[in-house]
Structure 1
Amino acid sequence: MSGWEYFQNNLFTLATMAVSFIIAGGIIAGAHRLLLGRKKNLEQARLFPRQLILLVVVLFCTIGVILVLPVSESARNQLIGLLGILLSGMIAFSSSSAMANLIAGFLLRITRPFRIGDFIRVQEHFGRVSEMGLFDTEIQSETRELIAVPNAVLVRNPVATTHSAGALISATLSLGYDLDHSRIETLLSKAAEQSGLKDPFVHIIELGNFAISYRVSGILEEVKGMITAKSRLHTAILDTLHGENIEIMSPSYMNQRRLADDQKAVPPSITIETPTAAPAAEEIIFDKAEEAERQETEKQTLQKRREDLELEAKEAVGDEKKKLKEQIQTISQNLDNLNKPDTEEP
């Protein structure tokens, strides 16, 4: 049989194969453009599901092309089996830690031990949650660094989350046995109140060989200002104790210069001009976490508002229903804008 005769006899089969390849390629290209083509800088939590959907589309298109190939049934089954072996090998040889982090990411979304904007401490890391991905959680530290903590670490280790209703701010210092503890407790409580803390209390945490260790604590209702609140507490303690002519040191203090018996190591009081109001330290340190929390709160508010309007729209009629639908459309557009990345391809 000549080549031309073979071509004529198998024209329908070749045309079917060509159409199948074109359709499969078009579906994959369209899915890629729809899911990823214009979605740059998406956060990991929204990017991974899109990639997973695209992978499923490619898999089904590949199986579809195999099914229309002009081969025997046994050869077709062998090709599908080979495809299954390749997928199994990819999963088997993939990193076990990646799978552990992925499963931990889903677990964190179910248990929700913290949310975006919360202060958390895990192992030696402390900061505010700025992003929650499927493989890792990003926290912004006190030094403004962005730390990616694997989700498996968050599941396997205790995570301390600052309560949103208020944080406990504490300071510890050592003072000599020559000072009456009741006086010190009163002054420390006064300093905590002056720093803006609520319901202050003082504990004696250690009776050392040379000094008594005190811990003063109070409730900070606005947890976003933890760092500034701790600094204000330290400042208030210095001002209060020095104002009472009390040295903040243990009796083992030694200096190379000789001090008179009646001389105290307390700096003289000075008056300085109050500087121009500056942004709170937390606004600078936790800028990304602050913005992420703001957007998350705004999304939840809009979603709740849209659900309420949808319920009202079901019972409304006429112009009222049309008006509600316009409001729902506006809210949906605002949600889409919040979910968009900062930059997209034109």
Structure 2
Amino acid sequence: MLAELHLSDVLAAAVEDVDVIVEDDIALDEVLQALAVFVASILLAVVVRRLLVRAFDRDASRHVGLVAGRFLGLVVVAVGIVYALGILGVQIGPLVGALGVGGIAVAFAAQDMLQNLIAGVMLQIRRPLRVGDQIASGDFEGVVADVNLRTTVLQSYDGLIVYLPNAEVLKNPIINYTRTPLNRTSLTVGLAYDTDLARAREVLLAACAAADGVAETPPPEVWVEEFGDSSINLAVRYWHAADIASRWRVRSEVAISVKSALDRAGMTIPFPQRVIWSGEQE
């Protein structure tokens, strides 16, 4: 009996809230006016967005106007919805209060959206990346396809489309391969322990410099890196164009040139090997 009374009280309170939200019966002309206001707000949002794009995005690589236009467009539409509801006699205050827990959930969701929105604006102002740049952020690499209100869109080198939240992009280090003309790569080459290291450095330097795509300035370098288990390892360091495609292409050219030069010089790249000693001497 008590449960039935409690349910009746809740239903009665809900009906009262609805009565407060909608004051009077809605007339047809009010519906048409509200609809006209809503449509007008959408059209105004489109106009505002296009004006901001034309005003700020004269540089094809800049998208401040696009991001700001999307945000202000949403604000215009939101204001239009509120005004249209006012025409229909709907009170926004009681409506928000009636949402209860649902309103709290929307607030938390809006908080995440706001963080990504602010991060998106900061990315456009600071411009650490542009559409078309090759970047790495976190565990992802690719070409920037778009920066919108919520995400930075990357097209990975495997052909995948990756959507990165703007807040995460701004929080993590950003490596922009396009902003710098040259990048350095190191290739480790292992040689047998009986190799003449001075002669090996000369051979490797000449082979690296002759590879297609290796920059002349700064010049290539070859240094003895470590004494490994089966070989003496030398680091071949060279500069090349910074884009990812050039990195892999030039690395392959250097490896082919180095292997051919070592073969001609009679120098051996050893297989992994172990020396077993039993403790007995002859």
Which one is further off, 87-96 or 130-139? 87-96
| 2:148 partner amino acid | G
Q: Which residue of 2 aligns with 1:236?
A: 257
| Structure 2: gaps of 5 or more residues | 1-23, 47-62, 276-282
User: What SS does the aligned partner of 2:131 have?
Assistant: coil
| Structure 1: gaps of 5 or more residues | 1-13, 37-43, 71-75, 255-346
Distance 2:186 2:92 in 1: 64
Q: Which residue of 2 aligns with 1:126?
A: 141
Contact preservation (8 Å) 2:34, 2:88: no
| 2:171 partner amino acid | R
Q: Which residue of 1 aligns with 2:31?
A: 21
Distance 1:29 1:104 in 2: 30
Higher RCO (Cα < 8 Å, 6 or more apart):
1
Which one is further off, 18-27 or 208-217? 18-27
Q: Which residue of 2 aligns with 1:82?
A: 94
How many pairs were matched up? 228
Aligned CA-pair RMSD: 3.8
Distance 1:96 1:159 in 2: 24
Query: Cα offset for 1:200?
Result: 0.9
1:214 aligns with 2:234: yes
Q: Deviations over 1:73-108 (max 9, x none)?
A: xxx8xx232355569646413165444333322222
User: What SS does the aligned partner of 2:226 have?
Assistant: strand
Contact preservation (8 Å) 1:28, 1:54: no
Q: Deviations over 1:274-317 (max 9, x none)?
A: xxxxxxxxxxxxxxxxxxxxxxxxxxxxxxxxxxxxxxxxxxxx
Query: Cα offset for 1:152?
Result: 2.7
**1:161 maps to which of 145, 160, 176:** 176
Distance 2:71 2:250 in 1: 45
1:249 aligns with 2:276: no
Q: State the TM-score, normalizing by the size of structure 1.
A: 0.54
| 2:238 partner amino acid | G
User: What SS does the aligned partner of 1:106 have?
Assistant: helix
Query: Cα offset for 1:252?
Result: 1.7
Alignment of 1:279-290 (within 5 A): none
Paired-residue identity, %: 26
1:192 aligns with 2:211: no
* Inter-CA distance 28–52: structure 2 relative to 1 (3 Å threshold): farther
Distance 2:158 2:170 in 1: 25
Contact preservation (8 Å) 2:41, 2:77: no
* Inter-CA distance 177–140: structure 2 relative to 1 (3 Å threshold): farther
Contact preservation (8 Å) 2:35, 2:84: no
| 2:32 partner amino acid | I
User: What SS does the aligned partner of 2:130 have?
Assistant: coil
